[in-house]
Chains A and B, each alone.
Chain A
Amino acid sequence: MALRQILHHPDPRLRNKASPVASFDAELGKLIDDMLETMYDAPGIGLAATQVNVHQRVVVIDVSGEKSTPLHFVNPVIAETTGEEEMEEGCLSVPGVFETVCRAEEVLIHAFDRNGDPFEMNADGLLAVCIQHEIDHLDGKLFVDYLSQLKQLRIRKKLAKEQRQYD
């Protein structure tokens, strides 16, 4: 396994729309393992392939807080949603920014595992929010897109300033 580099907003590659995975091979398994390792190392509770510059529909998640429940979703689709819920979110690609976003409270997910076997999963609470956040990444969308123009501008400036300090 290897750590992969995480892209940071406003990197234009975060805006790519990912393509569905066509072949369930060893390369996919390696991608999933690398993504889990990268997510745990960051640390985060979810990571989309887009964030590590692989534009395929793959998401990894572990909301257990104890690295005990790693999940992966290949070609995930939200089949049903219920309710609304507001939660404070942050993103590995938008470091240091935490804002409240409104999303569906419960979701039904259809996806495939690394072997290409389909499965369904019902999620609520943090897991539901996290899945929606990650699937957004696959569509080139970031959680800050839900915020007001003013807030988005402020966040871009803050990140640009931090970037300059690193350079």
Chain B
Amino acid sequence: MVLKSAPSSARSATAQALYKIVHEGQSLTRSTRSLAERIDDPRDRAFAQSCIYGVLRHYYSLQALLDQLLKKPLRRKDADIEALLLSGLYQIKLMNVPAHAAVSSNVEAARSLNKSWACGLVNAVLRKASAQPLTLERDRTTHFEHPSWLVERLQVDYPDDWESILNANNEHPPMTLRVNRLQSSRADYLAALGDTNLPAEPTRFSDDGVLLTHSSPVAQLPGFEQGLFSVQDEAAQLATGLLELEPGQRVLDACAAPGGKTTHILERVENAVELLALDLDAGRLEDVKANFARLGLSCSTLAADATDIDTWWDGKYFDRILLDAPCSASGIIRRHPDIRFHRSPEDIAELADRQRKLLASMWSVLAPGGTLLYVTCSVFPAENDAVIAHLAEATADASVDILDIAWARRTKFGCQILPGDHGMDGFYYARLSKGHPAI
């Protein structure tokens, strides 16, 4: 059996989305949403989606191949044609698309991008590409499909593991669910998946996790609208356990959106704690509330900058604080292949600065005897251990808890999961306890 190839409209939409991601810094999440509005047919949409992910994962070697095929580089304003050529090359070289179909519909797509002059070029380049095998001069950038600064930084930070981190970043991530224990149990949900012939297994370290053998759209899984589960990587599911929540505590989730960990806290302890979910972005806080509604949960929410304490704090200390700090997201590149284009070394320094400020502010609203859990999905020590060190060394009442756990690597101040460790996303955890003032 053969599949009919997706129409040129899906291909021009793919090129435009890629252009926005690579050159205008649009996030993959955002472009996926706008793709859903532009392409009606679900199969064409899936085609466009897998093209975009594919090009982002193989960007550097496809670009190197394109450079070989082009007589002279394209002008800056023709970056959309470049994106179209890259996705055409991906379709021919790495997807199962017949060369003639890829050539003709991408030529057609050039026309619908209002660049008829490029039809000849697209035709020539893609034909030439389909005639020759994909042989590339492999250098460090094309081999690992990451910008060179990122490769070099990982080599410095992880002399033994940088290569496996880069390889893990290029893997397809598993789809992991978190069962809402207020609505179901993991065993029951696994049985429900079994009844619908969706193979799955319990996660190894998280009590609430279910690992699907094959990814599937959430709508096709049992009970999504009814709030039986959320989609969340196992590494992120491990945060709540480290908080050691007890009834009656006042708990702050300082950077709550999109609410994955917030909802997990509520599912674990329901109304036994008093939880406040804070986020800088009012729009993203609306997404958190939508998740509350679906999962049948609720708690107070507030749109505010956590570091601007005067604007939101009522003066009552928190017994537990979850600081899931904004970060480079360098631990989840396998889920968001666009991240490698969107970060620069300067960003890491800026983020670390913001993280230090957030941590200092949160420390000031933590009750004596209270615990703060610092979390990032970054692999860079600059955003992790260095941030904790900065606080711990300058603060007399801060003590760092030793996190000796099976699922992560010990670091000086916390623990690190590297991407792909036990199949998980890359996460960093550190837990700090605040001493009682000396009498």
Residue positions of A touching B, CB distance < 8 A: 40, 42-46, 62, 65-67, 88-92, 98, 106, 122, 124, 126, 129-130, 133-134, 143
A residues in contact with B96, CB < 8 Å = 40, 43-45, 62, 65-67
Contact A65 B1 (CB under 8 A): no
B95 touches A66 (CB 8 A): yes
A selection of 23 A-B contacts at a CB cut-off of 8 Å is: A42-B2, A43-B96, A43-B97, A44-B2, A45-B2, A45-B3, A45-B96, A46-B1, A65-B50, A66-B50, A66-B94, A67-B96, A88-B4, A89-B1, A90-B1, A90-B2, A90-B3, A91-B2, A92-B2, A98-B4, A106-B197, A124-B197, A133-B1
Q: Does B98 contact A (CB under 8 A)?
A: yes
Chain B CB within 10 Å — which of A62, A65, A91, A129 has the most?
A: A65
Bound complex: CA A46 to CA B2 (Å): 7
Measuring CB to CB, which residues of chain B are less than 8 angstroms from any residue of chain A? Answer: 1-4, 47, 50, 54, 94-98, 197
Q: Which residue of A lies closest to B96 (CB)?
A: A43
| CB neighbours of B4 from chain A (8 A) | 88, 90, 98
Q: CB < 8 Å: which of B1, B50, B98, B197 contacts A130? A: B1
A122 and B197 in contact (CB under 8 A), knowing A43-B97, A67-B96? Answer: yes
Please indicate the chain B residues that have their CB under 8 angstroms from the CB of A46 in the complex. 1
Contact among B1, B50, B54, B197 with A45 in the assembled complex (CB-CB below 8 Å): B1
Which residue on A lies nearest to B97, using beta carbons?
A43
Contact, CB under 8 Å: A134 / B1: yes
Which chain B positions have C-beta within 8 A of A67?
96
* CA gap between A142 and B54 in the complex, in Å: 33
Interface SS of A by simple majority: mixed
B4, B94, B96, B97, most chain A CB atoms within 10 A: B96
Q: What is the chain A residue whose CB lies nearest that of B198? A: A122
The CA-CA distance from A164 to B77 in the complex, in Å, is: 46
Give A88 to B7 CA distance when docked, in angstroms. Answer: 14
Q: Kindly report which residue of chain A lies nearest to residue B172, judged by CB atoms.
A: A68
Query: Besides A91-B1, A106-B197, A129-B1, 5 other CB < 8 A contacts?
Result: A44-B1, A45-B96, A65-B95, A133-B1, A143-B1
Closest 6 CB pairs of A and B: A122-B197, A46-B1, A90-B2, A98-B4, A44-B2, A133-B1
A43→B50 contact, CB < 8 A: no
- The residues of A that contact B47 with a CB separation of less than 8 Å are 65
**In whole angstroms, how far apart are the Cα atoms of A88 and B3 in the complex?**
8
Inter-chain contacts of A44 with B (CB < 8 A): 1-2, 96
| Bound-state Cα–Cα, A92 to B54, Å | 26
A85, chain B: closest CB distance, angstroms: 12
Docked CA distance A38–B287 (Å): 48
Complex CA distance for A90 and B101, rounded to whole angstroms: 13
CA distance A164 to B50 in the complex (A): 38
Q: Quote the shortest CB–CB distance from A55 to chain B (angstroms).
A: 19
- Check B1–A43 contact: CB distance below 8 A: no
Write the nearest CB–CB distance from A12 to chain B, whole angstroms. Answer: 21
Residues of B within 8 A of A45 (CB): 1-3, 96
Q: Which chain A residues lie closer than 8 Å to B95 at the CB level? A: 65-66
Instruction: Report chain A residues within 8 Å CB of B197.
Output: 106, 122, 124
C-alpha spacing A133/B2, complex, angstroms = 10
Determine how close the nearest CB of chain A comes to the CB of B190; give it in whole angstroms.
16
Inside 8 A of B1's CB, which chain A residues have their CB?
44-46, 89-92, 129-130, 133-134, 143
Q: How far is the CB of A86 from chain B (nearest CB, A)?
A: 12
Q: How far is the CA of A49 from the CA of B94 in the complex (A)?
A: 25
Closest residue of chain A to B199 (Cβ to Cβ) is A122
Kindly list chain B residues whose C-beta atoms are within 8 Å of the C-beta of A92: 1-2
When distances are taken between beta carbons in the complex, the residues of chain B under 8 Å from A143 are 1
Is B98 a contact of A43 with CB atoms below 8 Å?
yes
Bound CA span A1–B293, Å: 56
Distance (whole angstroms) from the CB of B404 to the closest CB of chain A:
38
Residue of B nearest to A88 (CB): B4
Chain B residues within an 8 Å CB radius of A91:
1-2
Shortest CB-to-CB span from A42 to chain B, Å, is 7
Task: State the Cβ distance, B200 to closest chain A Cβ, in Å.
Answer: 13
Q: Which residue of B lies closest to A46 (CB)?
A: B1
Name which residue of chain B comes closest to A125, CB basis: B220
Q: Say how far B87's CB is from chain A's closest CB, in angstroms.
A: 14
Tell me, in angstroms, the Cα distance from A115 to B4 when the chains sit together.
Answer: 33
| Chain A residues, Cβ within 8 Å of B98 | 42-43
Distance (Å) between the CB of A103 and the closest chain B CB?
A: 11
CA distance A29 to B97 in the complex (A): 26
| A46-B96 Cα distance, complex, nearest whole Å | 12
Nearest residue in B to A134 (C-beta to C-beta)?
Answer: B1
Residues of B within 8 A of A66 (CB): 50, 54, 94-96
Bound Cα distance A106, B196 (Å)? 11
Q: How far is the CA of A89 from the CA of B1 in the complex (A)?
A: 7
B54 CB contacts on chain A under 8 angstroms: 66
- Measured between alpha carbons, how far is A124 from B2 in the docked complex, in Å? 17
Chain A residue at minimal CB-CB distance from B43: A126
Q: What residues of B have a CB within 8 angstroms of the CB of A42 in the complex?
A: 2, 98
When C-beta atoms are compared, the residue in chain B nearest to A122 turns out to be B197
Interface centre among B2, B3, B54 (most CB of A within 10 A): B2
CA distance A67 to B97 in the complex (A): 11
Find the B residue at minimum CB distance from A42.
B2
Report the Cα distance A124→B54, complex, angstroms. 24
Docked pose: A54 CA to B3 CA in angstroms: 23
Complex: how many Å from CA A62 to CA B3? 12
**Residues on the A chain within 8 Å of B3, using CB:** 45, 90, 126
